[in-house]
């Protein structure tokens, strides 16, 4: 059964994405495979010097309705669905010759709906009908028919076909699954788009039906705990600078938590474009972040924030990681994962001495974040929201206190605010000289987070005097401000919006603090 190769004598090619199609067709032609094709694909193949039978000639039925009907014919679908040894007689009776290989990808619906000025009419005209019907037919009958939807599979298929004259049952099965996944994703895109359009033909943010497809990337060592099984799935063509795009250079297999923490660290690092940054994450929260013109110093300062928590942490950088930085990391700590856009040769040589260390390359980081949807599974449902990609420029935010900030305070406030965005609420970040000196996270009250951040700063040997504080949400009472002032904080950035804002601002004025309102909350539950 694993081999059970079926000879390929006839192919039907009808593709929207023409990538490598000439290479495939020429390879098939050299093997004596008869080529059937449609419309624009047929013209391209003919221009390449190939002998092609146009589909209307094969079916003896013309294309019609502006190409809406061209492959919807019994001689096509019978040729794809006919079972060897079962339907031979009926196929012969109706003059249906089997198609052994189908090469199809679909109208560009996805790229069409991404256009800013797309109309509903244009979108509908780019819904493929014949293509999915053929793919489903061929995939259903993969016991006899080979089906290709991805140009990346062309070369491998030819390599198997050349010496054997057919494709193994195992590979036909895999290719059939790919075809059904291809049509499923296509139908999901259409359903999402159409169900998001209201009666005025306006596209709403969230469709009535929500379908999203992800591709299996790898099995993971385990889930959040060793007794939980886990796997990693990625979206189609994840962009560079994301964990979905990243690849592992060395180290042990990744766990669920490794990937989650690497994602958190990398996303925080992306907030800093103009200067090297190091972000250290432990259990979903940044425990140390620092920027510096010198990458190694950025790491040294980030580590100094909380050396205890940094042990076994996940490190992310926004620049190519150098050998000097790699040497400093191994000298100071045990790390689980290190992720960066790239690594120089010396860094990889140094990391290779720690064979279990997971080293991940994510590719070039984007300079500007693009909108995307975040999902959270709940029992019986799914929460969907816009990713929080916007960042308020603290230097242009509203100063609500009598005292205005100095340039250094503004710089530190902007730094702390970017870090606070990636700390799980309630988030309190103390910072000084573009370095975190205390981070409080995940408490039920904001004042407790403040106390923890102060305590951590003390444990690490930092003097909070002259530092700044960022809070991911408003202070509901003045006690958080009093706590910060007592610790030596000189400036605070927070969203504002509490019914007690005046009381809180008054407390800041009493202590001679600067307070800046951003008007935007940064909760990350």
14 versus 73: which is more confidently predicted? 14
Q: Tens of pLDDT along 113-171?
A: 888 888 888 988 889 888 899 999 999 999 999 999 999 999 999 998 888 888 899 99
- Please check whether residue 384 lies inside any domain of the structure: no
Q: pLDDT band at residue 1, thresholds of 50, 70 and 90?
A: very low
Last residue of a domain, one of 314, 342, 361: 361
CATH code, domain carrying 59: 3.40.50.1380
Q: Residue 438: which region, alpha, beta or left (left: phi > 0; alpha: psi -120 to 50)?
A: beta
When the pLDDT of each residue in the chain is averaged and rounded to a whole number, the result is 92
241 and 323 housed in the same domain: yes
Continuous segment of H or E residues that includes residue 43: helix 39-47
454 and 503 housed in the same domain: yes
Continuous segment of H or E residues that includes residue 360: strand 358-361
343 and 424 housed in the same domain: no
Residue closest to 356 by CA, chosen among 248, 227, 222: 248
Q: Tens of pLDDT along 46-85?
A: 998 888 888 888 877 777 777 677 777 888 888 898 888 7
The number of residues in the chain equals 525
Q: Tens of pLDDT along 306-364?
A: 999 999 999 999 999 999 999 999 999 999 999 999 999 999 999 999 999 999 999 99
**pLDDT on residue 337:** 98
CATH code, domain carrying 457: 3.40.140.20
Residue closest to 273 by CA, chosen among 318, 325, 240, 322: 318
**pLDDT on residue 219:** 93
- Please check whether residue 386 lies inside any domain of the structure: no
Q: Could you tell me the two tokens for 48?
A: 């390449």
**pLDDT on residue 182:** 94
> Residue 401 class from Cβ within 10 Å (0-12 exposed, 13-18 middle, 19+ buried)?
buried
Neighbours of 508 (CB within 10 A): 25
Continuous segment of H or E residues that includes residue 471: strand 468-471
**pLDDT on residue 521:** 92
Query: Is the pLDDT reported for residue 422 higher than 90?
Result: yes
414 and 346 housed in the same domain: no
**Is 47 within 8 Å of 69 (Cβ atoms)?**
no
Q: Cα dist. 441→128, 280, 389, 401, 451 in Å?
A: 50, 14, 21, 26, 10
- Please check whether residue 42 lies inside any domain of the structure: yes
Q: pLDDT band at residue 2, thresholds of 50, 70 and 90?
A: very low
Query: Is the pLDDT reported for residue 389 higher than 50?
Result: yes
Edge-to-edge strand list for the sheet holding 247-250: 247-250, 358-361, 335-340, 313-317, 277-282, 285-291
**pLDDT on residue 201:** 77
105 and 223 housed in the same domain: no
Block residue for tokens 């993971």: 220
Q: Which are the catalytic amino acids?
A: 140, 283
262 and 292 housed in the same domain: yes
The 3-state secondary structure of 64-127 reads: ECCCCECCCCHHHHHHHHCCCCCCHHHHHHCCCCCCCEEEECCCCHHHHHCCCCCCHHHHHHCC
**pLDDT on residue 185:** 94
Rg of the chain (C-alpha set): 30
Cβ partners under 8 Å of residue 177, min gap 6 = 139
Query: Is the pLDDT reported for residue 102 higher than 50?
Result: yes
157 and 259 housed in the same domain: no
Last residue of a domain, one of 338, 361, 384: 361
Q: Tens of pLDDT along 465-521?
A: 999 999 999 988 898 899 899 999 999 999 999 999 999 999 999 999 999 999 999
Share of the chain above pLDDT 90, in %: 68
436 and 344 housed in the same domain: no
- Please check whether residue 372 lies inside any domain of the structure: no
- Please check whether residue 366 lies inside any domain of the structure: no
Instruction: Round to whole Å and give the CA distance between 209 and 194.
Output: 9
Last residue of a domain, one of 144, 163, 195: 195
- Please check whether residue 524 lies inside any domain of the structure: no
**pLDDT on residue 3:** 63
Continuous segment of H or E residues that includes residue 290: strand 285-291
The mean per-residue pLDDT over the stretch 262-288 comes to 96
The mean per-residue pLDDT over the stretch 5-31 comes to 90
Query: Is the pLDDT reported for residue 98 higher than 90?
Result: no
Q: Tens of pLDDT along 443-456?
A: 888 888 988 999 99
Domain count, the chain: 3
Cβ partners under 8 Å of residue 232, min gap 6 = 216, 217, 218, 219, 220, 254, 259
Continuous segment of H or E residues that includes residue 386: strand 381-386
Q: Tens of pLDDT along 190-236?
A: 999 999 988 887 888 889 889 889 999 999 999 999 999 999 999 98
238 and 130 housed in the same domain: no
What secondary structure letter does DSSP report for 394?
G
User: For residue 154, what are the domain limits?
Assistant: 6-195
Query: Is the pLDDT reported for residue 30 higher than 80?
Result: yes
- Please check whether residue 370 lies inside any domain of the structure: no
- Please check whether residue 128 lies inside any domain of the structure: yes
186 and 254 housed in the same domain: no
345 and 400 housed in the same domain: no
88 versus 410: which is more confidently predicted? 410
């Amino acid at each position: 059964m694993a081999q059970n190769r079926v000879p390929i004598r006839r192919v039907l090619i009808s593709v929207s994405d023409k990538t490598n199609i000439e290479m495939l067709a020429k390879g098939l032609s050299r093997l004596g495979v008869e080529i059937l094709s449609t419309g624009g694909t047929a013209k391209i193949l003919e221009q390449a010097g190939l002998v092609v039978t146009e589909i209307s000639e094969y079916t003896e039925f013309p294309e019609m309705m502006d190409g809406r009907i061209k492959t919807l014919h019994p001689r096509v679908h019978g040729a794809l669905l006919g079972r060897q040894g079962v339907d031979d007689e009926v196929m012969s009776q109706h003059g249906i010759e089997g198609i052994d290989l189908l090469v199809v990808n679909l109208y560009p619906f996805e790229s069409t709906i991404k256009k800013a000025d797309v109309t509903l009419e244009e979108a509908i005209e780019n819904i493929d009908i014949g293509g999915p019907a053929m793919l489903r037919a061929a995939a259903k009958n993969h016991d006899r028919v080979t089906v290709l939807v991805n140009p990346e599979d062309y070369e491998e298929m030819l390599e198997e076909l050349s010496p054997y004259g057919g494709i193994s049952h195992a590979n036909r099965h895999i290719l059939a699954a790919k075809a059904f996944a291809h049509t499923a994703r296509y139908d999901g895109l259409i359903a999402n788009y159409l169900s998001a359009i209201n009666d005025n033909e306006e596209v709403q943010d969230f469709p009535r039906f929500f379908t999203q497809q992800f591709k299996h990337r790898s099995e993971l060592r385990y889930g959040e705990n060793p007794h939980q099984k886990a796997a990693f799935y990625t979206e189609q063509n994840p962009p560079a600078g994301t964990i979905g795009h990243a690849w592992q250079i060395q180290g042990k297999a990744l766990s669920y938590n490794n990937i989650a923490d690497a994602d958190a660290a990398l996303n925080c690092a992306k907030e800093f474009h103009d200067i090297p940054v190091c972000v250290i994450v432990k259990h979903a929260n940044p425990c140390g972040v620092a920027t510096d013109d010198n990458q190694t110093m950025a790491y040294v300062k980030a580590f100094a924030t909380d050396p205890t928590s940094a042990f076994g942490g996940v490190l992310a950088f926004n620049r190519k990681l150098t050998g000097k930085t790699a040497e400093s990391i191994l000298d100071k700590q045990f790390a689980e994962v290190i992720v960066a856009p790239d690594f120089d040769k010396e860094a990889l040589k140094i990391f290779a001495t720690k064979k279990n260390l997971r080293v991940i390359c994510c590719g070039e980081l984007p300079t500007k974040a693009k909108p995307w949807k975040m999902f959270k599974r709940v029992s019986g449902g799914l929460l969907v929201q816009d990713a929080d990609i916007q960042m308020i420029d603290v230097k242009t935010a509203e100063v609500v206190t009598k005292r205005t900030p100095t340039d250094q305070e503004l710089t530190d406030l902007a730094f702390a605010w970017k870090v606070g965005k990636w700390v799980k609420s309630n988030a309190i970040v103390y910072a000084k000289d573009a370095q975190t000196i205390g981070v409080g996270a995940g408490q039920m009250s904001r004042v407790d987070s403040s106390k923890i951040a102060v305590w951590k700063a003390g444990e690490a040997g930092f003097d909070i005097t002259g530092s700044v504080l960022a809070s991911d949400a408003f202070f509901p009472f003045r006690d958080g401000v009093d706590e910060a002032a007592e610790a030596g904080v000189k400036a605070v950035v927070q969203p504002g919006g509490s019914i007690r804002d005046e009381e809180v601002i008054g407390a800041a004025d009493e202590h001679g603090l600067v307070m800046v309102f951003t008007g935007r909350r940064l909760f990350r539950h």
